[in-house]
Amino acid sequence: MATAHQGIDSSNKTLLKSEALYRYVLDTSVLPHEADCMRELRLVTDKHSLGFMQSSPDEAQLLRMLLKLTGARRTLEVGVFTGYSLLATALALPDDGRVIGIDVDRAAYEIGSPFIERAGVAGKVDFREGTAREHLEKLLADEENIGAFDFAFADADKPNYVRYHEQLLRLVRVGGVIVYDNTLWAGTVALPPDTPLSDLDSRFSAALKDFNARLSADTRVEVCQLAIADGVTICRRLV
Ligand SMILES: C[S@@+](CC[C@H](N)C(=O)[O-])C[C@H]1O[C@@H](n2cnc3c(N)ncnc32)[C@H](O)[C@@H]1O
């Protein structure tokens, strides 16, 4: 059975119903402002067998804007892959900013790391190999990290978003921002329950439906659900 993300790459990753409109948005407001190093990494990643996993250029532009609007300095990324969103983050951070990127897949990160070097922002990037759960727990074990981060982007294994949310809420300061990717999972979260889906899609879609409902009821955060890319949810920590 086809999976919900089959045939998707960075040129068509959108929930917009009109491909022409998405192309217009990319051509008019996004791609003219994409840094050369970002474009080069994105096109290399598009050729990777799992290239559909990388964030889209309009999502990277959103992250960049959010990082700048919030004046973020200390940030976290859960789920790095080849580093497209990590590079967007490093480029958006001030000179003394830092992003800790966590991923189990060092080989994927190594595809992107020369682009990060060439962009001159490697000094802002601290890549940590291993599971997000383990690395977030390690960070939480140090009192100095509690409430010390301004921003986090979560884009790893979706069924664990519920767990990451609890961890990230303690690491990100009050007023700080946590962004979750893929929260609409190719639109499957709104399909009738009897719609046939691949095993992975039904598991991830169900997990995201549960996560979205929990977030909406979570009084510790203010939530904004965006229908760009594969669904992006912005949370602002309130308490
Ligand atoms: C959707 S990709 C990240 C895309 C990336 N943000 C970008 O813009 O290119 C998800 C990544 O999460 C990683 N991942 C999956 N499960 C993980 C886990 N339990 N802990 C850490 N990383 C994990 C995968 O190895 C994969 O590289």
CA-closest residue to ligand 1 atom 4: 54
Return the ligand 1 atom nearest residue 81 CA: 27
- Split at pLDDT 50, 70, 90, the class of 25 is very high
Domains (range + CATH), the chain: 19-237 (3.40.50.150)
Residue 10's pLDDT is what? 83
Residue nearest to atom 1 of ligand 1 (CA): 53
Q: How far is the CA of 156 from the centre of ligand 1 (A)?
A: 4
| pLDDT category of residue 158 using cuts at 50, 70 and 90 | very high
132 CB less than 6 Å from ligand 1?
yes
Which of the four pLDDT bands, split at 50, 70 and 90, describes residue 11?
confident
Distance of CA 92 to the CA centre of its chain: 15
> What is the pLDDT, as a whole number, of residue 177?
98
What would the pLDDT profile of 189-234 be if each residue is shown by its tens digit? 999 989 999 999 999 999 999 999 999 999 999 999 999 999 999 9
From residue 233, how far is each of 34, 161, 215, 238 by CA, in Å?
22, 12, 9, 15
Could you identify the atom of ligand 1 that is nearest to the CA of residue 153? 6
The per-residue b/e assignment along 3-23, b for 16 or more CB within 10 angstroms, e otherwise, is ebbeebbbbebbebeeeeebe
CA distance 75 to 177: 10
Please give the backbone phi and psi of residue 11, each rounded to the nearest 5 degrees, phi first: -95, -10
User: Residue 78 Cα, ligand 1 centroid: separation in angstroms?
Assistant: 7
- pLDDT, tens digit, 9 for 90 and up, residues 114-139: 999 999 999 999 999 999 999 999 99
Which residue's alpha carbon is nearest to atom 26 within ligand 1? 81
In sequence order, the β-bridge partners of residue 78 are 102, 154
